[in-house]
Amino acid sequence: MTRSLPGLPVCLMLSACAVIQPTRMDDTAALPPAWPRPSGKSAPQAALPGARLTLERALAIALANNPDVVADGWEIEAARARRRRASSDHWPSLGVLAAYRHHWHEERLVPARGQMASASFSHDIFAGDVVLAVPLLSGGRVVSAVAAADLLARAADRRLLRTRAELVFNVKSAFFAILGQDKLIEAIRHSQKALTEHRRKTVQLIEARKAARVDLLNIEVRLADLDHRLVKQRGLVDLHRRLLLSLLGVEAAPPGGLTLDGSLAPPRTLPDGTKLSARAIEARADIARLDLEIEAQARRVDMVRAEHWPVVSARGSYGSRLSAEGEHDDLGFVGLELAVPIFTGFGTAARVDEARATLRILQQKRRKLVLAVRREVDSAAIQVKTALAAVEATRKAIAMAEESLRITRDKAALGHGTSTDVLDAQAALLGAETTYFAALADLHTAFALLELAAGGGT
């Protein structure tokens, strides 16, 4: 009886005592490996070192720190890991099997090796084997699985590009909305200052018995209304600032507050919506992602169809058997295995039909997306033209309102006009400025929306 490797079963059984340390999480591990690492422990504090924030800086912070973008970055890492996992099926597998068995009746330690060979029997047998398996033929399962995983990893890249483009649009929309509201707050304050000066002059006229007290009451009502509008507008600005900070992935504004540094000047060039619509189909990352997912699903169909084919593999094993009485012996084998699926209860055919149906679903989703892209580009182009026309119209309205207010004030100073006329002219100017600044913000948002619809913005 062979006496080699007497301690192998015991060593294999003891190897099960290894303790796996629990996974730990920390702030610096929250970003994908390719992401820039924050200089400090907290990424938000490193992202906003100062109070003034330009659009370019805001976009840079958002693209590096937004949770959706970072999550898509980790999705890319997960997809690449799934690709490596699928590719690992090409390689041989080497493992160790350990077992303890208690038998009701005594069993042979190892199978009989001849008629005259001695044999050992025991109720308790320890076993340990080193097993090697080499895949030789899988009918295309592994090749198709690797191809599908590779395509899905590339699709994850396209998903990240689209998420970045949508984030750019959202940041621009919030940024220009805040700029427009800040301009409106300035206009309200200017109107308050003008009405306060008009109130002072009206008080002087009342004291000189050249104006009625009702004029002063009308001014007080207008000032109270401006106070209300100012409070409301500041609340809207605070909400948009909170939204912008959330898009940046930042928990709180700097101690001195967040001030935006940007301009609402209209863009100088107007994009051609027709050309953008034709180019958007090729430029949109979400269409490219669907194309890759469709191709990956086609490979999945091939992978399921391969289940009809036999599987051939080489397998070898070498190990030791140890009885409770101290007897032990070694045994091993090497050979080929052929697994031929003959009847699987129609399960394989059903899985093939399911995979093909999923492929058709993805194809129709792509068709729907292409139609939606053309509609989005055309709609965004119309919004740009409409907003640009509104800016031009309201710019002229402001000039006319300013001239009307000047004339009304001069007439009132000469005694040919009333205080109510001045108040109405001041309200008309504020209304024109409100519409103008809103139109400017809408114009920039429409440009960003057209850029997003056309596949840009990253």
**Per-run averaged pLDDT (10 residues), the chain, 458 residues:** 45 52 62 59 47 87 91 93 92 93 88 74 91 91 93 95 94 94 91 86 80 83 91 93 91 78 79 72 92 96 92 92 86 91 88 95 96 91 90 90 86 74 86 90 92 81
3-state helix, strand, coil in the chain (%, to 5): 65, 15, 20
What is the predicted pLDDT for the residue at 58? 92
pTM of the model: 0.81
* CA–CA gap between residue 251 and residue 38 (Å, rounded): 15
What is the predicted pLDDT for the residue at 181? 92
What is the predicted pLDDT for the residue at 422? 82
What is the predicted pLDDT for the residue at 12? 47
**Residue 37: DSSP 8-state:** P
State both tokens at 123: 């109720």
* CA–CA gap between residue 22 and residue 25 (Å, rounded): 10
User: Cβ distance 166 to 452 under 8 Å?
Assistant: yes
What is the predicted pLDDT for the residue at 364? 97
What are the Cα distances from residue 411, in Å, to 18, 96, 339, 415, 428?
95, 102, 102, 6, 17
What is the predicted pLDDT for the residue at 3? 42
What is the predicted pLDDT for the residue at 43? 44
> Can you tell me whether residue 374 is helix, strand or coil?
helix
Which are the contacts of 92, defined by CB distance < 8 A and separation ≥ 6? 132, 133, 134, 135
What is the predicted pLDDT for the residue at 19? 53
Identity (one letter) of the amino acid at 230? L
Give the chain's domains with CATH numbers.
Answer: 57-92+138-310+348-453 (1.20.1600.10)
* CA–CA gap between residue 380 and residue 431 (Å, rounded): 26
